[in-house]
């Protein structure tokens, strides 16, 4: 059945995730898991963006902005103490219904902060609302204008993060507590929780990819792809293209924000570089390398490139490497490197050569 065909790669991915963990366990290289966990979270941004760009045909140079909205809000809400305004009606009310937690800081001082689940929902929801609000006017634009508008959005988020004391200005936010998803299931960067967090991150990726695979194979997904293929004709077939573009924009923003929340709890902090334009460009680069409308390609490239980058393989040439990748792929393989099939290339070359003499015989 079709459904099986769709999910078999997911099962394969699951097996691979377990296998990698076992290998690192037996070869005592489990320090790799930290970067694999981070790569997994960044890949959540990438697969969301992939659906927006590859299937919806809309570029976004501002996705680091949504990542930052998620990360910064979750970080600030769960870190800044509300004790000084404890008597405020709203704070008291939140405390009463259990959305605030009391804890101690490093020096034993009392803290009263927002419960991570509540903060996470607020952060992701805010990103979704912002995407919904700006998506209307932004997605009316095309080509360069769309690219510039999303870039502009990213810059504004970056500037806000850099200029507000609440978000720690140039230092960002640190000391973000761990995030208890369920009893015993905690997103944190502590050494002992490394294997657990590796699995948490990959479960998030797998759930994300299942949702997106379902989506692109559904009625709505088909409509989305048709927008990319020929927007005018899609409209004439009764597809409300503006609304679908908006949906997918919001969805990809939510994916980015969720990744932001989880990375912030995992790292225990977030800084303004996460909101920078280079980050947005990087996400676009990975989607492009993976082949735009290729969810699995985007995921594989997201893991590989982020992992190499996080391991410091590219050294001080990190950004340069991404620049080169962008140019080379767009010049020579705009369909993405996974879509290059050398065998097929060769065959089409031969058929082209064979067709030349063939033309004469048909005359």
Partner 1 sequence: MQYLRMTPELFIQYLFAGITYGIIYAIVAIGFNIIYNTTGIINFAQGEFVMLGGMTAITMTAFMPMPLAIAVAVLITMVIGALIEMVFIRWLESPSVLRMIIITIGISILAREAALHTWGESVRALPYFIGNEVTSVTILGAKISPQVLWVIGVCSLMVAGLSLFFKFTSLGREMRACAANRRAATLCGINAKNMVTLSFVLSAGIGAVAGCVMSPITYSDYEMGPNLAIKGFTVAILGGLGNSLAAVAAGLLLGIIEAFSVSVLPLAFQDAIATSILLLILFVRPHGLFGSSEAAGLKEF
Partner 2 sequence: MALLEIDNLNRHFGGLHAVNNVSFSVEQGMIKAVIGPNGAGKTTLFNLIAGNLPANSGTVNFNSTKINGRKPYQIARLGISRTYQNIKLFHGMTALENVMLGRHIRSKAGFMAGMLNLPWTWPEEKQIKDRSMEYLDLLGVADCADIEVSNLAFGQQRGVEFARALATEPTLLLLDEPAAGLNIYETAEIGRLISKIRESGITILLVEHDMSLVMDISDEIVVLSFGEKIAEDLPHNIQQNEEVIRIYLGYEDV
What residues make contact with partner 2 under the rule CB under 8 A?
A: 3, 211-212, 214-215, 217-223, 225-226, 228-230, 232-241, 247, 293
Q: Is residue 342 close enough to count as binding partner 1 by CB under 8 A?
A: no
Cβ neighbors of 258 (< 8 A, separation 6 or more) are: 44, 70, 120, 124, 204
The count of other CB atoms within 10 Å of the CB of residue 344 is: 10
Q: Which residues of 263-276 are buried (b: 16+ CB within 10 A; e: fewer)?
A: bbbbbbbbbbebbb
Q: Are 248 and 55 in contact (CB under 8 A)?
A: yes
**Dist CA 135 CA 254 (whole Å):** 13
Q: Is residue 346 close enough to count as binding partner 1 by CB under 8 A?
A: no
Single out the segment in contact with partner 1 by CB under 8 A; choices: 41-49, 94-102, 153-161, 349-357: 153-161
Query: Could you tell which of partner 1, partner 2, none binds residue 293, using a CB distance below 5 to 8 A set by kind?
Result: partner 2
Query: Could you tell which of partner 1, partner 2, none binds residue 215, using a CB distance below 5 to 8 A set by kind?
Result: partner 2
Query: Could you tell which of partner 2, partner 1, none binds residue 175, using a CB distance below 5 to 8 A set by kind?
Result: none
Contact set for partner 1, span 289-328 (CB under 8 A): 316-317, 319-320, 322-327
Query: Could you tell which of partner 1, partner 2, none binds residue 81, using a CB distance below 5 to 8 A set by kind?
Result: none
**Dist CA 324 CA 287 (whole Å):** 15
Number of H helices, E strands in the chain: 14, 6
Q: Are 41 and 71 in contact (CB under 8 A)?
A: no
Per-position x/- string for 264-283, each x denoting binding to partner 1 as judged by CB under 8 A, each - no binding: -------------xx--x--
Positions in the binding site for partner 1 (CB under 8 A): 59, 61, 134, 137-138, 140-145, 147-149, 151-153, 155-156, 159-160, 162-163, 169, 277-278, 281, 284-285, 288, 316-317, 319-320, 322-327, 330-331, 334
């Amino acid at each position: 059945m079709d459904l099986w065909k769709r999910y078999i790669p997911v099962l394969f991915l699951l097996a691979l995730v377990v296998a990698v963990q076992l290998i690192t366990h037996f070869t005592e290289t489990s320090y790799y898991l930290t970067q694999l966990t981070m790569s997994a979270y960044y890949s959540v941004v990438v697969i969301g963006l992939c659906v927006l760009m590859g299937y919806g045909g809309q570029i976004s140079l501002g996705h680091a902005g949504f990542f930052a909205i998620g990360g910064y809000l979750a970080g600030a809400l769960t870190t800044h103490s509300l004790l000084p305004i404890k008597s405020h009606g709203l704070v008291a009310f939140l405390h009463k219904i259990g959305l605030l937690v009391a804890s101690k800081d490093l020096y034993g001082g009392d803290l009263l902060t927002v419960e991570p689940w509540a903060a996470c929902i607020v952060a992701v929801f805010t990103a979704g609302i912002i995407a919904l609000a700006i998506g209307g006017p932004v997605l009316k634009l095309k080509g360069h204008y769309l690219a510039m508008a999303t870039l502009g959005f990213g810059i504004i988020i970056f500037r806000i993060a850099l200029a507000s004391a609440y978000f720690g200005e140039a230092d960002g936010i640190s000391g973000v507590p761990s995030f208890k998803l369920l009893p015993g299931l905690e997103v944190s960067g502590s050494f002992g929780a490394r294997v657990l967090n590796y699995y948490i991150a990959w479960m998030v990726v797998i759930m994300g990819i299942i949702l997106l695979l379902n989506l692109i194979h559904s009625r709505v997904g088909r409509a989305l792809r048709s927008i990319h293929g020929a927007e005018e004709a899609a409209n004439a077939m009764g597809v409300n293209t503006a609304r679908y573009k908006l949906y997918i924009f919001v969805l990809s923003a939510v994916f980015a924000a969720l990744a932001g929340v989880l990375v912030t709890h995992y790292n225990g902090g977030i800084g303004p570089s996460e909101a920078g334009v280079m980050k947005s460009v990087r996400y676009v680069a990975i989607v492009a390398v993976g082949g735009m409308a290729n969810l699995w390609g985007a995921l594989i490239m997201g893991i590989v490139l982020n992992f190499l980058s996080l391991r410091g393989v590219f050294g001080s040439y990190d950004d340069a490497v991404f620049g080169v990748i962008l140019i080379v792929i767009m010049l020579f393989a705009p369909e993405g490197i996974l879509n290059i099939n050398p065998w097929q290339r060769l065959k089409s070359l031969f058929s082209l050569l064979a067709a030349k003499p063939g033309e004469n015989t048909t005359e």
